[in-house]
Structure 1
Amino acid sequence: MIRIILSDRMEENCYLVEDENGIVVIDPGIGAADRIIDLVGDTKLSILITHGHADHIFDIDRLKGDNIFVHPLDRERLLDAEKSLLNFFGRGPLKIDESTIVDCSQIGGKWRVLHTPGHTPGSCCYLYDDRILFTGDTVFMQSVGRTDLPGGSEETMIGSLHLLKEIFENGPDLKVFPGHGPGTDAREILTDNPFFI
Structure 2
Amino acid sequence: MTDQNIAKKFGVTPDELYNLLQKKEPLLLFDLSSQDAYNEGHINGAVHAVCDARAKDTIMPKIPKNVKLVLVDDDGTISEETAKMMRSFGLDAHYLQGGMKNWNKDLVKGSPPTAITPDKLWKKMQDQNIFLLDVRDSDEFSDFNIPGSVNISLSDLFKFENISNIPRDKEIITICPHGNMAMVATFALARNGIKSHILEGGLAGWSQVLNTVKAAKNPTVIQVEKVGKGCLSHVIVSEDEAIVIDPLYPAEKYLEVARQEGARITKIIDTHQHADHVSAAQQLANLTGATMHESGLEIWNRSYDFLDDKQEITFGKSRLRVIHTPGHTPGSLSYVVDEKYVFTGDILFIESIGRPDLRDKAEEFAGQLYDSLHNKLLKLPSNMIVFPTHHGVSIKPVDEVFSTTIEKAKEHDILKLSKEEFVKQVVSVTIPRPMNYQKIIQINKGTIPLIQTDIPNLELGPNRCSITANR
Same fold (TM over 0.5): yes
Which has the greater radius of gyration?
Answer: 2
Moved more, 125-134 or 148-157: 148-157
Say whether 1:141 aligns with 2:343.
no
1:106-126: CA deviation from partner (whole Å, max 9, x where unpaired)? 542211111000100110110
Q: How high is the TM-score relative to the length of structure 2? A: 0.34
Say whether 1:39 aligns with 2:242.
no
Say whether 1:58 aligns with 2:275.
no
Residue pairs, 1:81-160, within 5 angstroms = 98-99=302-303, 101-105=304-308, 106-109=311-314, 110-150=319-359, 153-160=365-372
Cross-structure match for 2:137: none
Cross-structure match for 1:69: 293
CA–CA distance in 1 between the matches of 2:243 and 2:357? 30
RMSD: 2.2
- 1:55 offset after TM fit, Å? 4.4
Cross-structure match for 2:238: 19
Say whether 1:186 aligns with 2:406.
yes
Name the amino acid aligned to 2:236: V
Match of 1:49 among 247, 263, 270: 270
Cross-structure match for 1:86: none
Cross-structure match for 2:201: none
Name the amino acid aligned to 2:307: C
SS of structure 2 residue aligned to 1:142: coil
Cross-structure match for 1:176: 386
- 1:61 offset after TM fit, Å? 2.7
1:8-35: CA deviation from partner (whole Å, max 9, x where unpaired)? 343211100010371100001233x132
- 1:60 offset after TM fit, Å? 1.7
Q: Conserved in 1, the CA contact under 8 Å of 2:328 and 2:354?
A: yes
Give structure 1 stretches of 5+ with no counterpart: 80-97
Name the CA shift for 1:18/1:66 in 2 (closer, same or farther; >3 Å).
same
CA–CA distance in 1 between the matches of 2:234 and 2:367? 29
CA–CA distance in 2 between the matches of 1:159 and 1:119? 12
Name the amino acid aligned to 2:290: D
Name the CA shift for 1:149/1:54 in 2 (closer, same or farther; >3 Å).
closer
SS of structure 1 residue aligned to 2:305: strand
CA–CA distance in 1 between the matches of 2:276 and 2:222? 18
1:36-90: CA deviation from partner (whole Å, max 9, x where unpaired)? 12222593430111001154652123212422222112251xx4xxxxxxxxxxx
Larger RCO: 1 or 2 (CA < 8 Å, sep 6+): 1
1:140-192: CA deviation from partner (whole Å, max 9, x where unpaired)? 01211001101651121111112235424xx111110011122001111112x
CA–CA distance in 1 between the matches of 2:272 and 2:358? 13
Name the amino acid aligned to 2:324: H
CA–CA distance in 2 between the matches of 1:24 and 1:75? 23
**Percent of matched pairs sharing the same residue:** 28
Name the CA shift for 1:8/1:34 in 2 (closer, same or farther; >3 Å).
farther
Give structure 2 stretches of 5+ with no counterpart: 1-219, 392-401, 417-471
Say whether 1:4 aligns with 2:216.
no
